[in-house]
Amino acid sequence: MKKFVFFLGTFLLLALTFIPSLSAQTKGVPTLDVLTPSEGQTIYGDKVPVLLDTLNFEIVDFANNTKAVTGQGHVHLWLDDEQMTAQSAAKAIVDTFTFSDVPAGDHKLRAELVNNDHTSLKPPVAKEISFKTAPVSSAVPPEAEGGFDKKTALVIFVVVALVIIAAWWYTKDEDEEEVKSQSVKPKSKTTKKATRRRKK
């Protein structure tokens, strides 16, 4: 009974802990998460796809929705921009965006939810992600470019040799048994009688 009371008390305590966070979500507090690129990720190639996730915020086209509406707007994106302004930002009107011709190296992406009129939310909702880009050719390890390395070739050779020896040994035993069984068979009586009749 004490375990049940302890379990029930723990459950109620946890439930009371999470209810305020759930009510904050239902009150309409916008959140932003950058799914791609992730922190510290290496992206191969010169294109950087950005995938966003929002909660309690509708991403719309600011050209068709010019008035500020609570819970509605778009996303400003800055890639390696030191002087971040609304004018210098790439504007995402859906939850995806792709940067092209990105040089290889370290990069910093900043994403911010903004109103239809390009003003920041109050309080501002933004995320910063650091990631790297590298040329596509560096995605292939050097060993894979030249085929098998010497150790892999040796292991393959040994395995193949063992399979051949095992197959020979197995069939050798069968052949010896077959030869023994044929040499042990007695001659049939009918053949002896036939040879005796010919002699008479």
Q: Residue 135 sits in a domain of what CATH number?
A: 2.60.40.10
Phi, psi of 89 (to 5 degrees): -80, 145
Instruction: In whole angstroms, give the CA distance from residue 163 to residue 153.
Output: 15
Q: Is residue 24 part of a domain?
A: no
Of 165, 145, 169, nearest to 157 by C-alpha is: 165
Domain with 167 in it:
141-181
Amino acid at the residue 132: K
> Residue 5: what pLDDT?
43
Q: What is the pLDDT of residues 65-107, one digit of tens each?
A: 988 899 999 999 999 999 999 999 999 999 999 999 999 999 9
Number of domains comprising the chain: 2
d(CA 93, CA 98): 12
93 & 164 share domain: no
Mean pLDDT of 17-35: 70
**104 and 164 share one domain:** no
Residue, of 177 and 117, whose pLDDT is higher: 117
Residue 44's pLDDT is 95
Please indicate, yes or no, whether residues 145 and 111 belong to a single structural domain of this protein. Answer: no
Q: Looking at the structure, do residues 135 and 81 belong to the same domain, yes or no?
A: yes
Specify whether 135 is located in the same domain as 145. no
The structure tokens 């150790």 sit at 151
Domain check: are 119 and 150 in the same one?
no
Highest mean pLDDT out of 23-37, 120-134, 162-176: 120-134
User: Is residue 75 a contact partner of residue 58, using CB atoms and an 8 Å limit?
Assistant: no
Residues 36 and 129 in one domain: yes
Residue 14 domain flag: no
- Which helix (H) or strand (E) is 31 found in, with range? strand 31-36
Co-location of 50 and 133 in the same domain: yes
